[in-house]
Amino acid sequence: MTYGIFTTSLAAIFTLGLSQGAVAASQGKASLTIDHAAIFAQLDTDGNGLLTQAELAKAAQLRFKNADSDKDGFLSQTEVGNQMIHSMQRRIARKSAKMIERRDIDKDGKISLEEMQAASGKRGSKMFARLDKNEDGAVSAEEFEKMRRQGGKFHRGGFFN
């Protein structure tokens, strides 16, 4: 029972942190760091500077209540799926904002082809070298397929990271 409350409460804390990061990203704030003190303050409902299991359980109950869109006291597969979609959307918002922040050389809030190529320069060369196993300056269909079969990735985080 205590373990269930603890893990559910941690999930609530994590969700609060993600939503805070997504809000920062949507407001165009450069820093996407999570304000742990603010999350703690939200969870510390009695304001005594300590989190009790009851306070964490209350946060988990609120998260459940918010997920229960039809208010029947249960989470359907659709409601759980919707929560997962919202969580992924927040994560995508954070990752895309970080990508823009890292690659936007002129800080206009957009990435040009030149900025993308400049950011990918060295990494792109290393990736190509890993694919070009026979070092002939070209990647054959066989080399490409071998990389794919071995579970290789273009690089961490997807095509643009």
DSSP assignment string, 78-96: HHHHHHHHHHHHHHHHHHH
Let me know whether 89 and 116 are in one domain: no
* Per-residue pLDDT, 143: 86
Q: Please tell me whether the overall predicted TM-score, pTM, comes out greater than 0.75 for this model.
A: no
Same domain flag for 73 and 124: no
User: Of 56, 76, 103, which residue sits at a domain end?
Assistant: 103
The Cα–Cα gap between 36 and 16 comes to: 10
Per-residue pLDDT, 158: 46
Residue where one domain finishes, among candidates 85, 103, 121: 103
- The whole-number pLDDT of residue 160 equals 41
Q: Which residues lie closer than 8 Å to 33 by C-beta, 6 or more apart?
A: 21
Q: How many CB atoms lie within 10 A of CB 21?
A: 22
User: How confident is the model at residue 149, as a pLDDT?
Assistant: 76
Q: Count other Cβ atoms within 10 Å, centred on residue 133.
A: 13
For residues 86 and 140, state if they share a domain.
no
* 3-class state of residue 34 by DSSP: coil
Of the three residues 79, 103, 127, the one that is the final residue of a domain is 103
Q: Which helix (H) or strand (E) holds 4?
A: helix 2-26
Instruction: Assess whether 62 and 122 both reside in one domain.
Output: no
pLDDT tens digits in sequence order for the chain, 161 residues long = 455 555 555 555 555 555 555 445 445 554 455 688 888 999 999 999 999 999 999 999 998 999 999 999 999 999 999 999 998 999 999 999 999 998 999 999 999 988 888 877 777 788 888 888 899 989 888 888 887 777 655 444 444 43
At residue 118, the pLDDT reads 85
Nearest partner of 93 among 153, 34, 32, judged by Cα: 32
Looking at the structure, tell me whether residues 19 and 74 fall in a common domain: yes
Number of domains in the chain: 2
Cα separation, 160 vs 100, in Å, equals 10
Q: Are residues 99 and 113 in the same domain?
A: no
Residue 84 and residue 43 share a domain: yes
Q: How far, in Å, are 70, 109, 119 from residue 160 at the CA level?
A: 38, 16, 10
Contacts of 122 (CB under 8 A, 6+ apart): none
Range of the domain at 143: 109-161
Domain match, 97 and 151 both: no
